[in-house]
Amino acid sequence: MIKDLKNSIILFICAFSNNMYSQVSENYIDSLFDKRGELYFSFEIDNQIDLSTISKLISIDHKSNQNTIYAYANKTEFINFLSLEIKYSLLNDIIKVPSSNSSKSNWNYYPTYQQYESIMQAFADSFPNICKIHNLGTLSSGHKILAVQISDNVGIPENEPSFLYTSSMHGNELTGYVLMLRLIDDLLNGYSSGLYQDIINEIDIWINPLANPDGAYAAGDQSVSGATRNNANWVDLNRNYPDPQDGQHPDGNSWQEETLIFMNLADSIPFSMSCNFHTGAEVFNYPWDTWSNLTADDSWWQELGAMYADTVHQYSNAGYFNYLNNGVTNGWDWYEVDGGRQDFMNYFKLCRESTIELSNTKIPNPTTLPGFWNDNKSSLINYIKQSLYGLRGIVTDSISGHPLKARVEIFGHDFDSSHVYSNLPVGNYHRYIDQGNYSFNFSCPGYQSKSVDVAINNSSTTILDVQLIPNSYVGIIQPISQKKLINEFDILGRKGSLNNIKVKVFKDGSTKKIININQN
Ligand SMILES: [Zn+2]
């Protein structure tokens, strides 16, 4: 049905605009797209309209509410939409950003593209011990997708969760762009004056302020005025990812340069939590977007969302960030998105990614940006901190001590890719889950699986290091050593049993393992 709609070519279509029906010709459609490859329009909802079908044809915008749908479409998508014969109104979405008396220290301006590159480079140059800049990829336009990595021992794999903030994959949703630059600035300067020790020492933090530079600077590198939602090919990047339900190319487009860059990043860095920022509404949106199924960790997500929103409310004026359920919503409950980044990261990369909508206005007057910072700063910091909580530890081979890539799963709880893996080279795993008692199962090909019962509390860390015994292990009595023995223990903690697996630790740092099996 959907494919039929997509393939149909309609020469004469009934459409509704300015309160009258009119015959719309191909020439008229061409004229709508001659200056700009995307259209913004709205239509009213009635019982006849199946939003799920429509969301597969066009990009429904975050500004949509129970009565009115706001949407974007490129030319192909708009022709498909017209085939549905729904009354619509065209809207002007070309945003002119007022100039402001800006200063870098106040973060009340949108930088030019060149300023953006310079600011990012300056972060790394000024704080080389805790900040690295990464060019994740250069687009055909020459624009770069940049990220900074912030941590102590930055760039060296440690027993830390990797956390990602990424903003503005919709190029005309720019509140998060400036807030992310300011967050980087605040973290780096704060650390040097004694703040943020907990998160910078303990978390591998990645921040990408601008995920769609071609959209943000569509009208030129000097200004974000005229920014577009889509990328330079008029593709909505938040419909371009592999989808758990709708396959590899849910939008019918090949993966865009930007999409491939972020897929590569997720292949390279085992992010355990991430968040991507948009505007058009004021709400915390958690998975799934593509289907009505709830995640295995729905209660954890609700808790997390409420924490973000509640902390915003502590700092903001009444009326901000209270859309839907007081600033929190399940994605599909709001409106369906297929091919979104959030679901891709959760389902395919086993990373807990949320979507935060920071402001109703897509590109707010720059003088209001410090206000949005003030409202969101504590929530942004606390959200990073959440990546330390839940169950975590290191999984190793019980004999060699080598770290393992093990599957961490709760039978009877996990489904739809809610399990996680420990990451090499460190062997660390990070499992976020609502408080309760769970039996965690650790498995790795070639090893005996192990289940451990653990009690989890919210906003606290439970550490469980796990040693897995190789299937192929055969006991060998080691020859007597002249080395000085400093410790000896059974790896399963057994005491006084004749059956045991002894580990001997010697003064020179070497170890030996001995299996004793007493058949009697
Ligand atoms: Zn968006």
Q: Are both 306 and 193 inside the same structural domain?
A: yes
Residue 126 CA to ligand 1 centre (angstroms): 32
Give pLDDT, residue 476.
59
Give pLDDT, residue 186.
97
Q: Are both 444 and 493 inside the same structural domain?
A: no
Q: Are both 147 and 166 inside the same structural domain?
A: yes
Q: Are both 202 and 320 inside the same structural domain?
A: yes
Residue 173 CA to ligand 1 centre (angstroms): 6
Q: Give how far Cα 436 sits from Cα of 2, 304, 320, 390, 432, Å.
A: 43, 16, 33, 11, 12
Total domain count, the chain:
4
Domain of 21 in residue numbering reads as: 2-91
Give pLDDT, residue 22.
45
Q: What is the amino acid identity at position 505?
A: V
Does the pLDDT value for residue 153 go beyond 90? yes
Burial state string for 213-249 with b = 16 or more CB within 10 A and e = fewer than 16: bbbbbbbebebbbbbbbbbbbbbbbbbbbbbbebeee
Higher pLDDT, 464 or 76: 464
Residue 171 CA to ligand 1 centre (angstroms): 8
Residue 462 CA to ligand 1 centre (angstroms): 35
Cβ proximity of 398 and 468 under 8 Å:
yes
DSSP code string of 401-453? --B---EEE-TTT--SS--EE-BTTTTEEEE---SEEEEEEEE-TTB--EEEE
Q: Are both 439 and 396 inside the same structural domain?
A: yes
User: What is the C-alpha separation between 330 and 167, in angstroms, rounded?
Assistant: 20
* pLDDT tens digits for range 419-455: 999 999 999 999 999 999 999 999 999 999 999 999 9
Give pLDDT, residue 19.
36
Cβ proximity of 399 and 469 under 8 Å:
yes
Structure tokens at 357: 């909508």
Domain end: 361, 388, 415, which one? 388
Q: Are both 334 and 297 inside the same structural domain?
A: yes
Residue 348 CA to ligand 1 centre (angstroms): 21
Residue 60 CA to ligand 1 centre (angstroms): 9
CATH code, 182: 3.40.630.10
Domain end: 388, 423, 443, which one? 388
Does a structural domain hold residue 478? no
Domain end: 353, 388, 423, which one? 388
Q: Are both 510 and 452 inside the same structural domain?
A: no
Does a structural domain hold residue 11? yes
User: What is the C-alpha separation between 149 and 136, in angstroms, rounded?
Assistant: 11
Those residues whose beta carbon sits under 5 angstroms from the ion ligand 1 are: 170, 173, 278
Does a structural domain hold residue 56? yes
pTM for this entry: 0.85
pLDDT band at 197 (very low <50, low <70, confident <90, very high): very high
Does a structural domain hold residue 99? no
Does a structural domain hold residue 473? no
Does the pLDDT value for residue 519 go beyond 70? no
Does a structural domain hold residue 480? no
- As a whole number, the mean pLDDT across the chain is 90
Residue 338 CA to ligand 1 centre (angstroms): 13
Give pLDDT, residue 454.
97
Give pLDDT, residue 518.
62
For residue 239, give every residue at least 6 positions away whose Cβ sits within 8 Å of its Cβ, in sequence order, or none: 59, 250, 251, 337, 338, 339, 340
Give pLDDT, residue 217.
98
Give pLDDT, residue 66.
81
Q: Are both 315 and 406 inside the same structural domain?
A: no
* pLDDT tens digits for range 255-281: 999 999 999 999 999 999 999 999 999
Q: Are both 207 and 129 inside the same structural domain?
A: yes
Q: Are both 206 and 117 inside the same structural domain?
A: yes
Residue 202 CA to ligand 1 centre (angstroms): 30
User: What is the C-alpha separation between 364 and 174, in angstroms, rounded?
Assistant: 8
pLDDT band at 480 (very low <50, low <70, confident <90, very high): low
Does a structural domain hold residue 477? no
Residue 412: Cβ within 10 Å count? 9
Structure tokens at 33: 């797209």
Higher pLDDT, 501 or 110: 110
Cβ proximity of 463 and 422 under 8 Å:
no
Q: Are both 218 and 280 inside the same structural domain?
A: yes
Give pLDDT, residue 515.
74
For residue 487, the SS3 value is strand
User: What is the C-alpha separation between 63 and 34, in angstroms, rounded?
Assistant: 25
Residue with tokens 């967050």: 183
Residue 62 CA to ligand 1 centre (angstroms): 6
Q: Give how far Cα 498 sits from Cα of 33, 62, 131, 495, Å.
A: 81, 66, 53, 9
Residue with tokens 């959440």: 386
Give pLDDT, residue 478.
53
Residue 168 CA to ligand 1 centre (angstroms): 7
Does a structural domain hold residue 97? no
For residue 361, the SS3 value is coil
CA angle 514, 517, 519 (to 5 degrees): 170
E strand or H helix at 391: strand 390-397
User: What is the C-alpha separation between 182 and 312, in angstroms, rounded?
Assistant: 17
Cβ proximity of 332 and 287 under 8 Å:
no
Higher pLDDT, 30 or 231: 231
Q: Give how far Cα 139 sits from Cα of 153, 169, 232, 340, Å.
A: 30, 14, 10, 20
Q: Are both 398 and 262 inside the same structural domain?
A: no
For residue 279, give every residue at least 6 positions away whose Cβ sits within 8 Å of its Cβ, in sequence order, or none: 62, 170, 173, 174, 175, 176, 357, 358, 359, 360, 361, 362, 363, 364
**Residue positions annotated with a catalytic role:** 357
Angle at which helix 257-268 crosses helix 341-348, to 10 degrees, equals: 30
Straight-line distance from the first to the last Cα atom of the chain, in angstroms, rounded to the nearest whole number: 70
CATH code, 429: 2.60.40.1120
